[in-house]
């Protein structure tokens, strides 16, 4: 590729350097035609080359100086530069364009997004927020983990920045060194400023490839950190007792249709201090595990049913005795709704024994009361054995293939009345 220029360098270099010391017949160009003479000249030149290392520094400097002062030197030098420019640049010109490396851009983007590069504080908190969102956890109880995560991240960040700085410094040092060297040599060797620039850009490219390795390993470290700290599956915490109770109360009081609407989920999430997604997960898990082994959950079901029944009974008796609006817990309308539907409620319960019961056609509040009262009946009637209770629950709640009846969810049918208020009244206490 650059064989030609290199040959030219060495040739001209030797020729020029040896110029002051050449035999006279070479210098005035008279001995060129003589074959024996030429051989002799070449022998002389070789001899000079061989002894070049024996020269003292002063001697070399003197030769250099003589060379620089030669009257033909500037013109000749320019010509050499020109020739070199043409050959070298035309060869290398093609590969000059450097398209932005997509991988490098990807790494840069990721480092920026993770808060490793970019502004210190904003980046860090943004990453932490993103992490919080990704993990889907409640902000309050894993803030400790997040601070731990942030600490580790800033550690990575610090290493990254010191390394990056080191690389940059080394790159600059090396660049200036090479530039000085080239500039120095350019006085005796045909090196144009353009070529120096080119050399610098080559150096920068080399160093940036080293930087890319640094970025890559930093990205890997961040990914490992993320998976370690933020993979919710690894870091899961059981919900606290209260949250579990709230969820279970809702589940067992809506046993025939345990599909909370979006509003209900939001309300539950709020009450349990968890996310809506977690509520959905919980209900998904609960439904499937309940269905898989109803017997196992019998005791739990009875317990929650009894508890909710007491609440329901209290509410009913209060209503019939004084017809008072409601407890402070439940909104006035919800309370009166329950009250006014108490008649329907018992009708529904009566019809429970028949096949005509259609959960979807009954208001959700009524439905929850029905679910509750099933348990009440099972308890007060002395049906404490699992088998009897199973007979109470499963035929209505779960269809032949094991799923819940394909009834519309409360939200689609009764959301105006069901919503947060009803959740509240169902699960309060």
Partner DNA sequence: TACAATGATTGTTT
Partner DNA sequence: AAACAATCATTGTA
391 near DNA, rule: CB under 7 A: no
Q: Which C-beta is closer to DNA: that of 62 or that of 288? A: 288
What is the nearest approach in angstroms of DNA to the Cβ of residue 228? 8
- Alpha-carbon distance 43 to 49, whole Å? 10
Please identify, among the stretches 13-21, 359-367, 403-411, 419-427, the one whose residues bind DNA according to the rule CB under 7 A. 403-411
What is the nearest approach in angstroms of DNA to the Cβ of residue 178? 49
155 near DNA, rule: CB under 7 A: no
Q: Which C-beta is closer to DNA: that of 136 or that of 325? A: 136
- Binding-residue pattern over the window 271 to 310 for DNA, x denoting contact by CB under 7 A: ---x--xx-xxx-xx-xxx-x----x--------------
- Alpha-carbon distance 299 to 152, whole Å? 46
Tokens of 346: 């018992």
What is the nearest approach in angstroms of DNA to the Cβ of residue 155? 21
What is the nearest approach in angstroms of DNA to the Cβ of residue 291? 6
404 near DNA, rule: CB under 7 A: yes
Q: Which C-beta is closer to DNA: that of 272 or that of 315? A: 272
402 near DNA, rule: CB under 7 A: yes
Question: Could you tell me how many residues make up the chain?
Answer: 429
What is the nearest approach in angstroms of DNA to the Cβ of residue 420? 17
Please identify, among the stretches 156-164, 225-233, 381-389, 416-424, the one whose residues bind DNA according to the rule CB under 7 A. 225-233
136 near DNA, rule: CB under 7 A: yes
Size of the site for DNA (CB under 7 A): 32
CA-closest candidate to residue 160, choices 105, 101, 119, 221: 221
* Burial (CB count within 10 angstroms: exposed 0-12, middle 13-18, buried 19+), residue 316: middle
386 near DNA, rule: CB under 7 A: no
11 near DNA, rule: CB under 7 A: no
Q: Which C-beta is closer to DNA: that of 117 or that of 396? A: 396
Tokens of 117: 């590069």
Q: Which C-beta is closer to DNA: that of 71 or that of 233? A: 233
- Binding-residue pattern over the window 227 to 256 for DNA, x denoting contact by CB under 7 A: ----xxxxxxxxx----x------------
What is the nearest approach in angstroms of DNA to the Cβ of residue 158? 27
Indicate which single residue of 16, 117, 135, 271 sits in contact with DNA (rule: CB under 7 A): 135
What is the nearest approach in angstroms of DNA to the Cβ of residue 267? 15
What 3 state SS string does the chain have?
Answer: CCHHHHHHHHHHHHHHHHHHHCCHHHHCCCCCCCHHHHHHHHHHHHHHHHCHHHCCHHHHHHHHHHHHHCCCHHHHHHHHHHHHHHHHHHHHHHHCCCCCCHHHHHHHHHHHHHCCCCCHHHHHHHHHHHHHHHHCCCCCCCHHHHHHHHHHHHHHHHHHHHHHHHHHHHHHHHHHHHHHHHHHHCCCCCCCHHHHHHHHHHHHHHHHHHHHHHHHHHHHHHHHHHHHHHCCCCCCCCCCHHHHHHHHHHHHHCCCCCCCCHHHHHHHHHHHCCCHHHHHHHHHHHHHHHHHCCHHHHHHHHHHHHHHHHHHHHHHHHHHHHCCCCCCCCCHHHHHHHHHCHHHHHHHHHHHCCCCCCHHHCCHHHHHHHHHHHHHHHHHCCCCCHHHHHHHHHHHHCCCCCCCCCCCCHHHHHCCCCHHHHHHHHHCC
What is the nearest approach in angstroms of DNA to the Cβ of residue 404? 5
What is the nearest approach in angstroms of DNA to the Cβ of residue 352? 22
Q: Which C-beta is closer to DNA: that of 257 or that of 326? A: 257
What is the nearest approach in angstroms of DNA to the Cβ of residue 347? 28
Q: Which C-beta is closer to DNA: that of 201 or that of 244? A: 244
Q: Which C-beta is closer to DNA: that of 30 or that of 285? A: 285
Binding site for DNA (CB under 7 A): 135-137, 231-239, 244, 259, 262, 274, 277-278, 280-282, 284-285, 287-289, 291, 296, 402-404, 409
């Amino acid at each position: 590729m650059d064989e030609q220029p290199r040959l030219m360098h060495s040739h001209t270099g030797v020729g020029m350097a040896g110029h002051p010391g050449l035999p006279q017949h070479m210098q005035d160009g008279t001995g060129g035609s003589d074959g024996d003479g030429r051989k002799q000249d070449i022998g002389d030149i070789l001899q000079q080359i061989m002894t070049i290392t024996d020269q003292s520094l002063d001697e070399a400097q003197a030769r250099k100086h003589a060379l620089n002062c030669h009257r033909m030197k500037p013109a000749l030098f320019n010509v050499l530069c020109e020739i070199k420019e043409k050959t070298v640049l035309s060869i290398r010109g093609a590969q000059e364009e450097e398209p932005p490396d997509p991988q490098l851009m990807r790494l840069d983007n990721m480092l920026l997004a993770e808060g490793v590069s970019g502004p210190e504080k904003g980046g860090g908190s943004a990453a932490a927020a993103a992490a919080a969102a990704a993990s889907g956890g409640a902000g309050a109880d894993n803030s400790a983990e997040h601070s731990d995560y942030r600490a580790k991240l800033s550690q990575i960040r610090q290493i990254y920045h010191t390394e990056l700085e080191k690389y940059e410094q080394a790159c600059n040092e090396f660049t200036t060194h090479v530039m000085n060297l080239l500039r120095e040599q350019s006085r005796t060797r045909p090196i144009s400023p353009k070529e120096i620039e080119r050399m610098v850009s080559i150096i920068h490219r080399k160093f940036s490839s080293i930087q890319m390795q640094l970025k890559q390993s930093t990205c890997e470290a961040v990914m490992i950190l993320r998976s370690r700290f933020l993979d919710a599956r690894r870091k899961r915490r059981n919900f606290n007792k209260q949250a579990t109770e709230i969820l279970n109360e809702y589940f067992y009081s809506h046993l025939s249709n345990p599909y909370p609407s979006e509003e209900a989920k939001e309300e539950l999430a709020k009450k349990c201090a968890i996310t809506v997604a977690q509520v959905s997960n919980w209900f998904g898990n609960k439904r499937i595990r309940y269905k898989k082994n109803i017997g196992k959950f019998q005791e739990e079901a009875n317990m929650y049913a009894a508890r909710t029944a007491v609440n329901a009974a209290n509410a009913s008796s209060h209503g019939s005795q004084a017809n008072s609006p409601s407890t402070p817990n439940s909104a006035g309308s919800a309370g009166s709704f329950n009250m006014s539907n108490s008649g329907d409620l018992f009708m529904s319960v009566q019809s429970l024994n028949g096949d005509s019961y259609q959960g979807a056609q009954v208001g959700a509040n009524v439905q929850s009361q029905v679910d509750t009262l099933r348990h009440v009946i099972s308890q007060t009637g002395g049906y404490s054995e699992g088998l009897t209770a199973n007979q109470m629950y499963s035929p209505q709640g779960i269809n032949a293939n094991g799923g819940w009846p394909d009834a519309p969810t409360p939200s689609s049918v009764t959301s105006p009345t069901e919503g947060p208020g009803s959740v509240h009244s169902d699960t309060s206490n």
